[in-house]
Amino acid sequence: FQSEFDDVLKAAGSKLVVVDFSAKWCGPCKAISPVIHDLAVRYDNVMFCSVDIDRAEDVANSCKIVAMPTFQMFKKMEKIFEITGTDIRKLETKIEELM
C-alpha cells in the first residue's frame, strides 16, 4: 500500500492532504468518522484520505503511527503536521491555517 499512498501524495501536488489513520476496531475512530466526512465535504480544496492501519501496515509503520485516530497533514509530499485524538476544533483550525 505504500506506493499507492505515495501516489496520492504526489497527485495532490501543492494541495493540503489530511490523512486519517484508523482501524475498524477503534471506537474513537468510528465516532469521529462522520465528522471527518463533513470536513472533507466543506473543504473541497483539501484532499482527505483514510488509511486502515491493519490493512496498510507498511504505511502505518513508515508514518510511525502509535495511536489512533492520528491525523497527518502533508503538502508537496512532506509531512507538515500531526495530531492524535478526537479534538476536531484543533484539527479544523490547523486545516484552515495550512491550506
Tell me how far CA of residue 73 lies from CA of 14, 25, 27, in angstroms.
12, 23, 22
Show the cell assigned to 24: 475498524
Which residues are annotated as catalytic?
26, 29
- CA pair distance 27, 15, nearest whole angstrom: 30
Q: Which residues contact 62 (CB under 8 A, 6 or more apart)?
A: 2
Q: Output DSSP code: residue 84.
A: E
